[in-house]
Amino acid sequence: MSSLPLITAQTEEKLLAFLTEHGHTKFRAQQVLDWVWRKRVTTFDAMINLPPALKNLLAEHFRFHTPEIVEIHGSADTTRKFLTKMEDGSLVESVIIPAAVAENGEKSERVTLCVSSQVGCAFGCKFCASGLLGLKRHLTTGEIIGQILSAETIAEKRVNNIVFMGMGEPLSNFDNLADALEIITSHRGLEIGARHITISTSGFVPGLKKLAAYPRQIRLAVSLHGATDEVRDQIMPVNKKWPLSQLIPALEEWSRGRNQMPTLEYILIRDINDSPKDASHLVRIAKRLHAKVNLIPYNTVEGLPWKRPSEERCRSFRDAVHKARIPVTMRYEKGHDINAACGQLRLRKEQEKNGSTPR
Ligand code: SAH
Ligand code: SF4
């Protein structure tokens, strides 16, 4: 594994700083970015309009690399999940979801990619496969971007919608995330609009504060999953450190001045958070935050005790939220049959490797 930094992990600002330091102009930086992102070359030699000395300089300081895809799982609904191997052997999973039909009935061109931000996760939510093995490490900017590049080779299409809902807590890897966001949104990068990017957080308040100060209009989803401290404490250790009395004001701070509403993600887990009373607590928080609610009937994880409520129970929960005039959707995980809740594929693979079972 070469230690040179990846060219695909350089923000425009960083590349420009490097080139000006070496006596090159801004125009050269633009040419290089054009080769990398528009023309998608994978060698410096291919950048034929650059002087040889510049090509050599780039090759001495940077390299190209797209992470290797080691497993692809397709499902009947065309969602595909894949495991990517990073250069240190770490396994990371991403999900690609082409939307066939848009809400207005027209065929949509949307290609959504769910990316991971860390290998594993330190937050240890009790229902989640990603947290089961703890945090191995942060993903680098290049590895976050690498998932997009690898996915595009599978999809044979450009990804135009990105959700940070894979493994890991993106806001606890803020610096690498911020550089990745620059590259993803830049006109001289992947050029995906900020409004087509969603960051999901379990409620890591220090990271939310940084995101509140971040200038771009990235969408925010909050994995609430419980609308009282009692429920959240039971399933999400993060709540012990940053309870609702801190999380809600941090979300208000994020909303202020940006004219955007967060989405509250709420997994429905049988007998944990699915009662009419839970629905009314959720409505209260959603009203206060002017938030939308996205209900997700729980996907069972092997080795964990949690169960999905009956369809009827899920529907009546949704109806209660809807009656309170909160915009609500209920999404049965696409690709339930391929362990689509992120973290499950890697968990299984790591278990196969170690011959272990989850706690
Ligand atoms: N760490 C961030 C980003 C990961 S998003 C966060 O928690 O928000 C992954 C989403 O999938 C989260 O909303 C998470 O709570 C949810 N999830 C985890 N395990 C799940 C399961 N078994 N079934 C359904 N959703 C699950
Ligand atoms: Fe980590 Fe999110 Fe899973 Fe919680 S739900 S363990 S924060 S990935």
Chain segment 118-168, per-residue pLDDT in tens: 999 999 999 998 878 899 999 999 999 999 999 998 888 899 999 999 999
Number of folded domains in the chain?
Answer: 2
Indicate which ligand has the atom closest to the C-alpha of 163: 1
Answer yes or no: is the C-beta of 114 below 6 A from any ligand 1 atom: no
Domain-located, residue 358: no
By the 10 Å C-beta count (0-12 exposed, 13-18 middle, 19+ buried), 27 is classed as exposed
Residue nearest (by alpha carbon) to ligand 1 atom 26: 341
Domain-located, residue 285: yes
> For the residues 19-32, what does the mean pLDDT come to?
97
**Residues 57 and 80 placed together within one structural domain of the fold:** no
CATH of the domain at 51: 1.10.150.530
Structural domain for 273, as ranges:
68-353
Chosen domain end from 61, 79, 104: 61
User: Which pLDDT score, from 0 to 100, does residue 21 have?
Assistant: 98
Tell me the residue type at 134: G
Three-state secondary structure call for residue 114: strand
Could you tell me the two tokens for 255?
């909303």
Chosen domain end from 19, 37, 61: 61
Answer yes or no: is the C-beta of 128 below 6 A from any ligand 1 atom: yes
Per-residue model confidence as pLDDT tens digits over 260-289: 999 999 999 999 999 999 999 999 999 999
What is the rounded CA–CA span in Å between residue 208 and residue 256? 13
> For the residues 85-107, what does the mean pLDDT come to?
81
Atom of ligand 2 nearest to the CA of 200: 2
CA of 128 to the centre of ligand 2 (A): 6
Answer yes or no: is the C-beta of 272 below 6 A from any ligand 1 atom: no
Per-residue model confidence as pLDDT tens digits over 309-354: 999 999 999 999 999 999 999 976 544 444 445 555 565 556 555 5
Q: Is 93 an annotated catalytic residue?
A: yes
Share of the chain above pLDDT 90, in %: 77
**Residues 190 and 150 placed together within one structural domain of the fold:** yes
Q: Is 60 an annotated catalytic residue?
A: no
**Residues 194 and 45 placed together within one structural domain of the fold:** no
Strands 68-74 and 80-85: antiparallel
Which of these is catalytic: 12, 93, 169, 265? 93
Q: What is the mean pLDDT of the chain?
A: 90
Per-residue model confidence as pLDDT tens digits over 62-78: 999 999 999 998 865 67
Answer yes or no: is the C-beta of 203 below 6 A from any ligand 2 atom: no
Give every strand in the sheet of 328-330, ordered side by side. 68-74, 80-85, 91-98, 111-114, 161-164, 197-201, 219-223, 263-268, 292-297, 328-330
Answer yes or no: is the C-beta of 204 below 6 A from any ligand 2 atom: no
CA of 22 to the centre of ligand 2 (A): 43
**Residues 19 and 91 placed together within one structural domain of the fold:** no
**Residues 278 and 345 placed together within one structural domain of the fold:** yes
CA 309 to chain centre: 26
**Residues 272 and 192 placed together within one structural domain of the fold:** yes
> pTM for the whole thing?
0.92
